[in-house]
């Protein structure tokens, strides 16, 4: 038997899931490279932590020793991701190591 309470719970959960899916599509979790709207010829690296806790992330840098950073929830700017900016270092990739 389906009650009004069950229907309301399922409907609200579906609405939240759809909103979360839409937000994640616009700003995906983990590593991404974006072009800046003000400077479309430059690319910038970001880490989007979609969890509610800090994450230890390995950042692969070109021409510089790699780093491990403990990043908070939300979107974090990692640095330039454009090899045209040589001779300065740039972010090539980043990946999750563990929670921190």
Task: Domain ranges for the chain, please list them.
Answer: 28-99
* Residue with tokens 């692969």, as numbered in its chain: 60
Answer whether 61's CB lies under 8 Å from 90's CB.
yes
Check residue 25 and give its pLDDT: 59
How does pLDDT run across 9-53, given as a tens digit for each residue? 333 334 435 544 555 556 789 999 888 788 777 888 999 999 999
Share of the chain above pLDDT 70, in %: 69
CA 62 to chain centre: 20
Edge-first strand listing for the sheet containing 30-35: 30-35, 43-49, 74-80
How does pLDDT run across 41-99, given as a tens digit for each residue? 788 899 999 999 999 999 999 888 999 999 999 999 998 887 776 656 789 999 999 99
Distance CA 18, CA 45 (A): 26
Check residue 27 and give its pLDDT: 72
**For the whole prediction, is pTM greater than 0.75?**
no
């Amino acid at each position: 038997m389906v009650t009004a309470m069950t229907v309301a719970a399922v409907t609200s959960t579906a609405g939240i899931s759809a909103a979360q899916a839409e937000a994640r599509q616009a700003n995906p979790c983990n590593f991404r490279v974006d072009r800046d709207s003000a400077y479309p010829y430059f690319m910038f690296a970001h880490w989007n932590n979609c969890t509610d806790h800090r994450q230890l992330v390995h950042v692969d840098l070109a021409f510089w020793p790699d780093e491990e950073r403990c990043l908070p929830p939300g979107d974090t700017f990692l640095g330039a991701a454009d090899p045209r900016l040589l001779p300065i270092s740039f972010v090539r990739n980043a990946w999750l190591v563990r929670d921190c």
